[in-house]
A and B are shown apart, each in its own frame.
Chain A
Amino acid sequence: MKGYLARNGYNLAASALAIVAMWVAWIIAYAATGNDYLVPSFGQTAQKFFALFASGYFWSAFGATLSRTLVAFCISFVLGALCAAAGTLLPVFAHFLRPVVAVFRTLPTMAVLLLILVWASPVSAPVIVTVLVLFPVIYSQLTSAVSGVDAGLLEMAKAYRLTFRQKLTGIYVPHVAPLALAQTGTNLSFGIKLTVSAEVMAHTYVALGGLMSESQLYYDMPQLAALTVCAVLAGLIVEFIFRTAAKYAFPWRRGEEI
């Protein structure tokens, strides 16, 4: 712990300073506006934030939002991995996918959500929107990870006539896995943000976004801010867990920043 602090002391201090700066900016914004409906006070927000933890309904909504994010992430990951693998094996498939992925990447999320809501329920629409946004991101990350496999190793594999399975399990998967795990945290965090936004638009019941929408309807700004803080914290915690896991889960690169 002492060694860790010595190595990362300045970085930790810089991060702490950023948090303090954001907190001070909040206080200044509150003081400048002097209006609880525009910027809620920090004290009231903190009070609402801790009150949320005692509410069973909040936990159901929080769990439902996280579940939707997880389902959307899993669908996107499986689709992205299958397409990246197919594109590596068949370059023509990668060319076929290129415009499709480009269109998915530039889709205006909220417009698509409104279209989807015509035929999908407010419960499934956020999942569909999150998949539409996450899939091209994950596909691009995996494709770039696969193309980053050391060409020298592949030449060695060819010279020693390694089988496809040996190359897959010995070279490709171990190269891609640490990168994929490190990016999973960022993708899940992004997924939470997307799902919550879609839930707000879709007025999904039993959802973090639904609660936010409700708070906005009743001008309960401290509650809205407290729910936003919850979503931000959930994203940060998920990112931290996966980044740490990626650092220590692979013994051949233990402790390396990925």
Chain B
Amino acid sequence: MKLGILINEGPFTHQASDSAYQFATAALKKGHEIIRVFFYHDGVYNSTKFADPPSDDRNLVQQWSKMAEEHGVELIVCVAAAMRRGINDDALAPGFQISGLGQLIEAGIEADRLVTFGD
């Protein structure tokens, strides 16, 4: 199945990004295709390379980057939401790209299921 994922919350305060990552990992393992992960609202904070959590905690930004590298998963950060929050190309961790909301609608059109993770 082709899956799209929408993440509406940043890392740590909410579990949304953790749950989405675990869902994506399980889906890939079962042979499903993740056509795109789209980061919106505070979800854009998942993309910043400046995140530096304590070493005994999970690092969600790195986890997403690794998934992009190993499975070719597209990680799209909404440009308008990112600009409001001080995130630009210089802040992006590997594998993340900034693009427009059209990418979210396209994911909804192209995927068999669009799954939202939020508050």
**A joins B in a complex:** no
Name B residues whose Cβ lies closer than 8 Å to a Cβ of A. none
Q: Which residues of A contact B (CB under 8 A)?
A: none
